[in-house]
């Protein structure tokens, strides 16, 4: 009887822990085609930083993204091919449009996307001292609503 109860408790605990692991690994990316997601974006570049917003769209084989500052002005757009596991940058703002910066940015965006798939909304590039964080914004907060006085 006691061994049965112990066995039951062990199995229950195992199932519970597996569920926690599954929940915490829930992807932050829009996983279904046509699905969209919005984030507030924060990118630290050594002593400086970029902040603003990020919109993502699952467009079949591609994850498309737009990153822009708080005033809505674009930093860059990007696309990530799910099957090729490759990031492409598009329309990069002049200040960031240097080949060496874009190379690092592509690598780090790929790492960030991998992390977000595992439910982690950030990535730290220790070598070049960059830090990326995308904080999910609930759908309702990006809809038209009056400001509270």
Partner 1 sequence: MRNKLILFCGMMCLALTLSAQTQSKEAIRAKINKAAQEMRTMQCDFTQTKYSKMLNDQMVSKGRMCYKQKNMLRWEYVSPYTYTFILNDTQVLLKNEHRNDIIDTKQNKMFKEIARIMMNSVIGKCLDDKEYKVELVPEAGEWVARLTPLKKNMKQMFQKIILHFDMKKAWVTKVELQEKKGDRTVIVLKNVRTNHEIDNKMFSVR
> Where do we find the tokens 């408790």?
9
Query: Judging by DSSP bridges, how do beta strands 122-125 and 130-137 pair with one another?
Result: antiparallel
How far apart CA 89 and CA 75 sit, in angstroms, is 11
Nearer to partner 1, 18 or 133 (CB): 133
Choose which of 77, 110, 114, 115 interacts with partner 1 (CB under 8 A).
77
Closest to 105 measured CA to CA, from 83, 82, 80, 136: 80
Return the number of other C-beta atoms located less than 10 Å from residue 77's C-beta: 16
Q: Which is nearer to partner 1, 37 or 108 (CB)?
A: 37
Provide the 10 A C-beta neighbour count for residue 133.
Answer: 17
Residue 31 as a binder of partner 1 (CB under 8 A): the answer is no
**70 scored as a contact of partner 1 (CB under 8 A):** yes
Q: Which of 57, 96, 104, 120 binds partner 1 (CB under 8 A)?
A: 57
The site for partner 1 (CB under 8 A) is made up of 36, 38, 40, 42, 44, 49, 51, 53, 55-57, 64-66, 68, 70-74, 77, 90-91, 93-94, 135, 137-138, 141-145, 147
């Amino acid at each position: 009887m006691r061994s049965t109860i112990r066995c039951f408790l062990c199995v229950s605990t195992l199932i519970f822990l597996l569920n926690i692991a599954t929940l915490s690994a829930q992807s932050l990316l829009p996983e279904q085609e046509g699905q969209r997601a919005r984030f507030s974006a924060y990118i630290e570049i050594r002593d400086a930083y970029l902040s603003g917003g990020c919109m993502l769209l699952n467009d079949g084989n591609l994850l498309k993204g737009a990153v822009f500052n708080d005033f809505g002005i674009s930093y860059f757009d990007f696309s990530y091919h799910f099957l090729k596991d490759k990031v492409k940058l598009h329309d990069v703002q002049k200040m960031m449009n240097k080949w060496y910066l874009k190379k690092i940015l592509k690598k780090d965006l790929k790492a960030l996307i991998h992390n977000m798939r595992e439910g982690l909304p950030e990535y730290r590039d220790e070598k070049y001292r960059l830090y990326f964080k995308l904080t999910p914004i609930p759908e309702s907060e990006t809809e038209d609503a009056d400001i509270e006085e």
